[in-house]
Amino acid sequence: MIRSFPAPKFDAAPAQGGAGEFGALPDWDLSDLYTAPDAPEFLHDMAWLEAACASFAKDYEGQLADLDAAGMADCIARHEAIETVAGRIMSYAGLRYYQNTTDAERAKFMSDAGDKITSFTTPLVFFSLEFNRIDDARYEAVFADPLVARFKPVFDRMRAMKPYQLSDELEKFLHDQSVVGASAWNRLFDETTAALQFTVQGETLNLEATTTLMSDHDRGKREAAARELARVFGQNVKLFARVHNTLAKEKEVEDRWRKMPTPQLGRHLSNHVEPEVVEALRNAVVAAYPRLSHRYYALKAKWLGLEKLQVWDRNAPLPSETPRKILWDEAKATVLGAYGAFSPRMAEIAQPFFDKGWIDAGVKPGKAPGAFAHPTVTTVHPYVMLNYLGKPRDVMTLAHELGHGVHQVLAAKQGPMLSDTPLTLAETASVFGEMLTFRALLDAAKTPAERKQLLAGKVEDMINTVVRQIAFYDFECKLHAARAQGELTPEDINALWMSVQAESLGPVFEFMPGYETFWTYIPHFVHSPFYVYAYAFGDGLVNALYATYAAGLPDFQTKYFEMLEAGGSKHHKDLLAPFGLDASDPAFWDKGLSMIAGLIDELEAMEA
């Protein structure tokens, strides 16, 4: 149950630029974790962890089934202490690394720390295995005691893996082998994508800079960027195909040994969500493609004066949109203002991120792409990473990641075991933060043109979050199913990618030669298989939540904060019940999708 450092995720596609033109951009102050790689506190914690793991195994291996509630409480407290120190070490190593993934010293430091912690924690593998062998009646009796009752949800989730558990020896082998398995391939992917270089109109750029040009006002520049992305991805497609083949095969082997019926089940179990709920979400979104993405992109083609859209037009700004760069202080004021209008408490929780070095915002050589919020450990605080370039979408990314940060701060009171929120619910606060910011900007719009621009931007973000991510999910499902039948060539994977693109984007699109390789740079497929449906889950959930807020549900703010404070201590049914919502109801997803359709309705009405 020891948590590793989560890989960053693309919540946005920022670009490269100088920090000075956006004002003073904040950098991380990691001293709340450790002051330096060789700090006495770091060395002390590493030594303590080795001894604590060995002591824990000596005291509890073979004894869990005999513990009474008091003994179980002591056992849990010691396990949480170990988890906290291990998490602190790996958070520090990981955050340093993602500040500059091309720095060999940082990469070595993170790798060495991970190797040591893997070695130290190998004796702890028994914990979940032996725990799952406790007799059901004994388990229920012990966890009925108030001393440990609050921990039952996390152990219920752990026991859901009971049917898929391997022998103790095999589980220990998989634990030890992980550092040269998936994590090694993850690092290869990260370092490869960070080092890619692209030449667009004579300028050499990194991946983030080039993908950001896909939303430039100059159509010629967008096309040049798209074609250069295709060229470089094509040059590297064999390496990326090897990464995907290896990881998918590794997963298939482990799933087969565990007797997992589907490749997706492990993710569903970790998300504490029923497969039928995910299937209902997926089916609702696919059925809605014509009234969402197909309809919106046909409207966009009309705005752009085009019969067909190319891939470089998908995120193009509207012709009426005036380019402007948003300074950091304005972005900060916008998001904090929106948060504060919802609840002063929300703005108060977010404020220290700006004041205390909890955000790293500037684009720097070697820095990891995209944006993420990492909770570190419950005794410290989260850290947010951005690549800020002053675009309106960057403001929404700030709102998104701060939402994660607020959620993580509130959930920390649950402690190490219960603070982690399943991915399906982890996106709730982030997407809600975006929605608050969007609504604040929409209310402040001074002209119809400004309102249209905001609506179009939000619809595109929602389509990227819902339609695009479900298409990604379908691609992954097809990829893993095909890999189970044999090795996949780059052309095989390209074909799977293209099979979901036309269906999701609609008939108005044409696809340039080379677009078939654009699966190569998506990190979710590598770091977190089947993660992507969590975005669509979160967006649909937030749309339904926001509708109840807008309808004036009494005490909404109180209920909302209670939901975030619950962390991973409750099932999604219990969390949503105070709002009168139920994600297991197929009609639930149509409510969220209808909100997107309603925004498109308003855009169409503007054309009448």
Write the CATH number for 81. Answer: 1.20.140.70
591 closest CA partner among 296, 271, 288: 288
> For residue 560, is it within any domain?
no
List, in order, residues 6 or more apart from 309 with CB less than 8 Å away: 297, 300, 301, 508, 509, 510
Question: How many CB atoms are closer than 10 A to CB 121?
Answer: 23
d(CA 504, CA 536): 14
Please tell me whether residue 464 adopts helix, strand or coil conformation.
helix
d(CA 278, CA 541): 12
387 closest CA partner among 328, 462, 316, 311: 328
Please tell me whether residue 505 adopts helix, strand or coil conformation.
helix
Phi, psi (deg, nearest 5) at residue 198: -130, 140
> For residue 153, is it within any domain?
yes
Count of residues in the chain? 608
Question: Residue 590: in which H helix or E strand, if any?
Answer: helix 586-607
- Cα 43 to Cα 34, 91, 111, 113, 446: the distances in Å are 10, 15, 16, 11, 57
Strands 383-385 and 359-360: parallel
pTM: 0.82
> For residue 69, is it within any domain?
yes
d(CA 253, CA 247): 10
Range of the domain at 42: 34-180
Describe the crossing of helices 293-304 and 448-465 by its angle, rounded to 10 degrees.
Answer: 140
Residue with tokens 């299937």: 279
Cβ(418)–Cβ(568) under 8 Å? Answer: yes
H-assigned helices in 205-310: 207-212, 219-258, 265-271, 275-288, 293-304
> For residue 71, is it within any domain?
yes
d(CA 376, CA 395): 24
**What pLDDT shows up at residue 4?**
42
> For residue 70, is it within any domain?
yes
- Cα 333 to Cα 115, 327, 338, 395: the distances in Å are 42, 10, 8, 10
Query: Across-strand partners of 374?
Result: 383
Cβ(368)–Cβ(194) under 8 Å? Answer: yes
Exposure b/e, 283-313, CB count within 10 A at least 16 = b: ebbbebbeebbbbbbebbbeeeeeeebbbbb
Domain total in the chain: 1
Cβ(79)–Cβ(127) under 8 Å? Answer: yes
> For residue 568, is it within any domain?
no
**What pLDDT shows up at residue 356?**
97
**What pLDDT shows up at residue 3?**
41
d(CA 198, CA 523): 18
326 closest CA partner among 394, 397, 399: 394
Averaged pLDDT, groups of 10, the chain, 608 residues long: 42 44 93 97 98 97 95 97 97 96 94 94 90 92 96 89 82 78 89 92 91 92 97 97 96 92 92 90 95 96 96 91 86 97 98 97 88 95 94 90 96 94 84 93 88 91 93 97 96 97 95 97 92 89 90 95 94 90 85 91 87
- Cα 242 to Cα 193, 237, 247, 432, 475: the distances in Å are 14, 9, 8, 37, 17
Long-range CB pairs of 279-285, under 8 A, 24+ apart, other chains included: 280/584, 280/586, 280/589, 281/470, 281/533, 281/536, 281/537, 281/540, 281/589, 282/470, 282/473, 282/474, 282/533, 284/586, 284/589, 284/590, 284/593, 285/466, 285/467, 285/470, 285/536, 285/589, 285/593
**What pLDDT shows up at residue 13?**
38
> For residue 419, is it within any domain?
no
List, in order, residues 6 or more apart from 27 with CB less than 8 Å away: 357, 360, 361, 362
> For residue 391, is it within any domain?
no
DSSP character for 371? B
Instruction: Find the distance separating the first CA and the last CA of the chain, reported in whole Å.
Output: 57
**What pLDDT shows up at residue 388?**
93
Describe the crossing of helices 586-607 and 293-304 by its angle, rounded to 10 degrees.
Answer: 20
Please tell me whether residue 275 adopts helix, strand or coil conformation.
helix
Exposure b/e, 137-174, CB count within 10 A at least 16 = b: eebeebbeeebbeebbbbbebbbebeebbeeeeebbee
